[in-house]
Amino acid sequence: MEKTFGIIKPDAVAKGKIGEIIRIIEENGFKIAGLRLEQLSLEKAQKFYEVHKARPFYNDLTKYMSSGPVVVLALEKENAVRAWRDIMGATNPIEAAEGTIRKLFGENIERNAVHGSDAAETAKTELAFFFP
Ligand code: ADP
Ligand code: MG
């Protein structure tokens, strides 16, 4: 079994979509190994997205991620990293496949409803950061 890390982002939490997103996760065979509602400080959001520090959207992204509560998730399944990215859909909801979480609930390329680790190594780091 592999573990990955996910976040239900502030836009989806604010719209009352926690339940629907968790339902999709469970229906896709993931075991929820960790789950917590958390208000990120700007500093914590900046640290989490440090890899994107040089990107033009870094300031907006970290402000947005600390603008309201998020749900942090530890998800377990065979090939969990790939499987979670698949049901999330593409970064930009406009380009995301039908039925994916970002297609269903994302507002735009920034406010795209969910985060997911992009590789096994990243998942380890991100899980340790939120579930020490
Ligand atoms: P993903 O979340 O699909 O792994 P990235 O790691 O490239 O995508 O980007 C991290 C997050 O930064 C995205 O989920 C999104 O919230 C935001 N983001 C990415 N690209 C842009 C962009 N061009 N403009 C604004 N925000 C962006
Ligand atoms: Mg990423």
Full DSSP string of 27-39: HTT-EEEEEEEE-
d(CA 125, CA 55): 21
Ligand with an atom nearest the CA of residue 108: 1
Catalytically active residues, by annotation: 115
For ligand 1, residues with CB inside 6 Å are 52, 57, 61, 91, 109-110, 112, 115, 118
The pLDDT value given to residue 64 = 98
Q: What's the 109 CA to ligand 2 centre distance in angstroms?
A: 12
The pLDDT value given to residue 11 = 97
The pLDDT value given to residue 28 = 98
Of 100, 27, 22, 110, give the one whose Cα is nearest residue 62: 110
Instruction: Tell me which residue has its CA closest to atom 3 in ligand 1.
Output: 91
Q: What's the 19 CA to ligand 2 centre distance in angstroms?
A: 23
Scored b (16 or more CB within 10 A) or e, 89-112 reads bbeebeebeeebbbbbbbeeeebb
The pLDDT value given to residue 93 = 98
- 3-class DSSP assignment, residue 106: coil
- DSSP code for 89: -
The pLDDT value given to residue 99 = 97
Return the percent helix, strand and coil in the chain, to nearest 5: 45, 20, 35
The pLDDT value given to residue 68 = 98
Ligand 1 atom, smallest distance to 112 CA: 16
Ligand 1 atom, smallest distance to 64 CA: 16
Q: What's the 93 CA to ligand 2 centre distance in angstroms?
A: 14
Query: pLDDT tens digits, the chain, 132 residues: what are they?
Result: 999 999 999 999 999 999 999 999 999 999 999 999 999 999 999 999 999 999 999 999 999 999 999 999 999 999 999 999 999 999 999 999 999 999 999 999 999 999 999 999 999 999 999 999
